[in-house]
Amino acid sequence: MAYTLTVGSIRCHILSDGLHVVDGGALFGVVPRVLWERVLMPNAQNQAPFDARSLLIESDAGLILVDGGYGDKIPQKQRRILQIGDRTERLLDDMRSVGFDAADVAIVLMTHLHADHVGGCTRFDTPDHSPGPLVPTFPNARYICQRLDLAEASFPNERTAATFHAENWEPLLEHNVLEVVAGPQRLATGVRTQIAPGHTAALQVVWVEDGGESLLFLGDAANCAVQLDRLAWVPSFDIFPLTSMETKRTLIDEAMASDALLIFQHDPV
């Protein structure tokens, strides 16, 4: 279900690619289950519920989509593990519910290149989503990612290899629609990115600011509210966990200074 809000005069929509589950131990790292299960109750397999939100921004530079979700290239075995089910076009259905379609998107900002954030940036060019040629999901968009994250994803190590899938960005390079940048970007009037390292080397969070109001889309800088509230609660997914703590400290200070509305990408609540 999509939610619509305004930041000053900028209209934003919070979309979802659907709920799934992740291993609770991986999500909360060294935090004992007896503590984190008070916040997110796991199932019998120790899996915690996880949303996959995206942010759609109506800007003066066109329609901006922040992250593309898992998408529909997920093999059946992984669908069962994630408990996603067989439903397709989850994010696109949410987008249609607020009056837009894939062809309307002008910019896709990829916060980083993990599969649950960019899997939906490419799709099989088949009517039933069966395997076939890969094409950009948003045909009229330019896609933006950070140079450091692309390098990390293109040359992963033993720890990170399972989280990166070249099928999610190589078709964008082949179609000449991937813009590789370095450092923070101003995407439109009132819309900017900020580098928030920790989860990855150059994770991007997104600020929307207008008329004295602010929104901060946190991406994986903090998966859920409790991980921002408790700095030491860092997921085992984070490549640089100590850096994650300092990044969260900085984001808290900046969000408080601007009285920003915080959007947590994965919090199921």
For the residues 107-123, what does the mean pLDDT come to?
98
pLDDT mean over 16-45: 96
Q: What is the CATH number of domain 3-190?
A: 3.60.15.10
pLDDT at 140 > cutoff 90: yes
Which pLDDT band holds residue 127 (cuts at 50, 70, 90)?
Answer: confident
Top pLDDT among 76 and 55 is at: 55
Asked whether the beta carbons of 110 and 121 are under 8 A apart, the reply is: yes
Beta bridge pairs of residue 5 = 12
Residue 86, pLDDT > 90, answer no
pLDDT > 70: percent of the chain: 100
Domain residue spans in the chain?
3-190
What three-state secondary structure class fits 250? helix
Structure tokens at 259: 């009285």
Q: Considering the entire predicted model, what is its pTM?
A: 0.96
- Average the pLDDT over 79-99 and give the result: 92
Q: 269: exposed, middle or buried (C-beta count within 10 Å: 0-12, 13-18, 19+)?
A: exposed
**Residues 210 and 258: beta-carbon distance below 8 Å:** no
User: What is the mean predicted confidence (pLDDT) over 49-67?
Assistant: 98
- Are 40 and 268 in contact by the 8 Å Cβ rule? The answer is yes
Bridge partners of 24?
A: none
